[in-house]
């Protein structure tokens, strides 16, 4: 229970403020746990952050893969657009305050190579999911056979993460809508 409370608090705090802007005292206070209990479960704040990110990514990937790889009633392009449209609606409901914790973690300073590598591995998994969806579209003649699916998956993921950053800055849905319109030009 203590570990769960800490991870839930970490997810909320890191999503709102970022890893570097949250101190251990704030995590402990939010989770309502003592420091000794924290260190019983996590060897450091950074090790804790990696577990928070892993939980965040794994939970998100379940939904991402469900939409992109399992909703066979939609074309691959429609699945990609549906996923991002749904996320845009969620961000709007949350008043554009929270974005993607993985994307936000890319710009964290003062973190170890292990932290950076972990974030990179997680983003790679998201990119591979997009690539698999695009490959299915090529196989079904719904997407151009000449499309470089690895490159396009990278462009889509990077474009989305950039749109989220602009959304948070402007507190506006427009960057997300621009991104989604660009999908029609890209795939």
The pLDDT, as a whole number, for residue 8 is 95
Q: Could you report the per-residue pLDDT of 56-80, keeping only the tens digit for each?
A: 999 999 999 999 999 999 999 999 9
Q: Could you report the per-residue pLDDT of 121-137, keeping only the tens digit for each?
A: 999 999 999 999 999 99
| Euclidean distance between CA atoms 104 and 179, whole angstroms | 18
pTM over 0.75: yes
CA distances from 52 to 4, 68, 88, 108, 142 (A): 10, 24, 23, 15, 37
* Superfamily holding 50-186: Tetracycline Repressor, domain 2 (1.10.357.10)
**Other C-beta atoms within 10 Å of 60: how many?**
16
Domains of the chain by residue range: 50-186
| Euclidean distance between CA atoms 74 and 180, whole angstroms | 17
Q: List average pLDDT for each run of 10 residues in the chain, which is 187 residues long.
A: 91 90 93 93 94 93 95 96 96 90 84 90 96 97 96 98 95 97 93
The pLDDT, as a whole number, for residue 2 is 87
């Amino acid at each position: 229970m203590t570990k769960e409370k800490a991870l839930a608090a970490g997810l909320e705090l890191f999503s709102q403020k970022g890893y570097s802007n949250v101190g251990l005292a704030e995590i402990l206070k939010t989770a309502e746990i003592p420091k000794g209990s924290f260190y019983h479960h996590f060897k450091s704040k950074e090790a804790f952050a990696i577990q928070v990110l892993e939980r965040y990514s794994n939970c998100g990937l379940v939904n991402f893969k469900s939409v992109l790889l399992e909703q066979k009633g939609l074309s691959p392009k429609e699945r990609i657009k549906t996923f991002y449209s749904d996320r845009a609606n969620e961000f709007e409901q949350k008043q554009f305050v929270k974005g993607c914790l993985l994307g936000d973690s890319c710009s964290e300073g003062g973190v170890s190579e292990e932290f950076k590598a972990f974030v990179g591995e997680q983003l790679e998994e998201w990119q591979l999911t997009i690539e698999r969806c695009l490959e299915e579209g090529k196989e079904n003649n719904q997407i151009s056979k000449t499309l470089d699916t690895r490159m396009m998956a990278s462009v889509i993921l990077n474009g989305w993460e950039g749109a989220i950053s602009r959304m948070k800055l402007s507190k506006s849905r427009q960057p997300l809508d621009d991104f989604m319109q660009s999908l029609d030009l890209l795939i």
